[in-house]
Amino acid sequence: MKVNTQSVNFNANVALMDFVQTRLDKLETFYDKVISSDVYLKVENTSVKENKIVEINIRVPKDNIVVKKQCKSFEEAVDAACNSIERQLVKRKEKSRV
């Protein structure tokens, strides 16, 4: 799957980019018709510790799935967003079987 990753207001290191790529590659085990995905990593300038925002946009045939999560670290936010996307993809796959 093609993954476009953009970091807003900071420069993401290679380890974070690799983590995002491998985590999103696992989504194909749940639904094999995923076309591509866009990942936006953002840092809010606030005093709150949960200032890391991850927004993932997954393109599947005839639809888009958008999930936005805010956590203390990017890895935690990516995991939470991917878990949410996994549930949505499983629902979509079950609907297509009926």
Domains and CATH numbers, the chain: 2-97 (3.30.160.100)
Confidence grade of residue 95 (pLDDT, cut at 50, 70, 90): confident
- Mean pLDDT computed over 55-60: 94
pLDDT in tens, 36-45: 999 999 998 8
Lowest mean pLDDT among 8-17, 65-74, 76-85: 8-17
**Cβ burial, residue 82 (10 Å; 0-12/13-18/19+):** buried
Confidence grade of residue 88 (pLDDT, cut at 50, 70, 90): very high
Q: How far apart are CA 52 and CA 19, in angstroms?
A: 15
**Across the strands, what pairs with 55?**
40, 68
pTM comes to 0.89
